[in-house]
Amino acid sequence: MKSYLAAAIQMTSVPDVQKNLAQAEEFIDLAVNQGAQLVGLPENFAFMGEEDEKLAQANSIAQVTEKFLKTMAQRYQVTILGGGFPVPTDSGKVYNTALLVDSGGQELSRYRKVHLFDVNVPDGNTYRESSTVMAGTELPEICGTEKLGNIGLSVCYDVRFPELYRDLSRQGAHVLFVPAAFTAFTGKDHWQVLLQARAIENTCYVIAPAQTGINYARRQTHGHAMIIDPWGVILADAGEKPGVAIAEINPGRIEQVRRQMPSLQHRVFI
């Protein structure tokens, strides 16, 4: 594994798949032209709208999105994470699925979001992800790659559950993906500090693609797609507008931090 550039894409996805995928391609192109070899798209990048609309279109969204990710990876010769899109189940609900695809268009890793966002947010909005989404039942496994290191997947609300990331670090993760559609209300207080905590406690890079702005109706997302180093330093922050955060993933930095703070070697319980 040598140093390389990674990109965390920030979007304002809406209830229009073709519009969203056109926006995603624009930012993939921008990231690749700046040298990125690993590109992450946020949660709900292909569709962000009312839950009943998502269910009605789920089969189509899943097929079109998976084809898009594989086509983009091959066309631009990069590894791409699709940070979360609906994949139908036999139950009538969907899995919120993150998919990692290599530069040949082959699936590397697939993760079904385990922790579902069922929360009454103090700003007056209520979220019941479990009303349409079936929770995954398996912890993610790291994806070992020769050029990009060991990559661990998660999605959004997972970031509040450190045991998931501890398990990924136990497996040898170097890079942790946290694609998200974090609410504006919770994001202003918790987004950055949670991402930094996951980076610091696991001495890993964190790549966090994000949704931003008004997506539909009253749904407003926080933005600030970030890349954070193993010491917790914010290397890139996309701010509040759609765009791309790009930074270097340096294996030497991981080794340096782990020598300076060998906390992973001192684990007792996991």
Instruction: Give the H/E segment covering residue 195.
Output: helix 184-202
Query: pTM score, two decimals?
Result: 0.97
Query: Residue 123: what pLDDT?
Result: 79
The C-alpha atoms of residue 103 and residue 193 are separated, in whole angstroms, by 32
Out of 66, 113, 143, 204, the active site residue is 113
The reply to whether 156 belongs to the active site is yes
Nearest to 77 by CA among 41, 120, 19, 33: 33
Query: Residue 264: what pLDDT?
Result: 94
Out of 54, 70, 156, 204, the active site residue is 156
Query: Residue 104: what pLDDT?
Result: 96
Nearest to 177 by CA among 133, 222, 220, 226: 226
* Residue 37 vs residues 101, 103, 108, 111: alpha-carbon distances, Å: 12, 9, 15, 21
Query: Residue 121: what pLDDT?
Result: 83
> Cβ distance 84 to 45 under 8 Å?
yes
Q: Rounded to the nearest 5°, which phi and psi values hold at 18?
A: -65, -40
The C-alpha atoms of residue 177 and residue 161 are separated, in whole angstroms, by 14
Secondary structure (H, E, C), 211-237: EEEEEECCEEEECCCEEECCCCCEEEE
Helix orientation angle between 184-202 and 162-170, rounded to the nearest 10 degrees? 30
Other beta carbons less than 10 A from residue 250's beta carbon: 17
Query: Residue 126: what pLDDT?
Result: 84
The reply to whether 204 belongs to the active site is no
Low-confidence ranges of the chain (pLDDT < 50): none
Strand, helix or coil at 259?
Answer: helix
Strand, helix or coil at 175?
Answer: strand
Question: Which tokens go with 97?
Answer: 């699925």
Name the burial class of residue 6, with classes exposed (0-12), middle (13-18) and buried (19+) by CB atoms within 10 angstroms of its CB.
buried
Q: What structural domains does the chain harbor?
A: 4-266 (3.60.110.10)
> Cβ distance 211 to 182 under 8 Å?
yes
Name the burial class of residue 18, with classes exposed (0-12), middle (13-18) and buried (19+) by CB atoms within 10 angstroms of its CB.
exposed
Q: Rounded to the nearest 5°, which phi and psi values hold at 152?
A: -115, 140
Instruction: Give the H/E segment covering residue 10.
Output: strand 4-11
The C-alpha atoms of residue 92 and residue 59 are separated, in whole angstroms, by 11
Out of 43, 66, 70, 143, the active site residue is 43
Instruction: Give the H/E segment covering residue 80.
Output: strand 79-88
Taking only the tens place, the pLDDT of each residue in 233-242 is 999 999 999 9
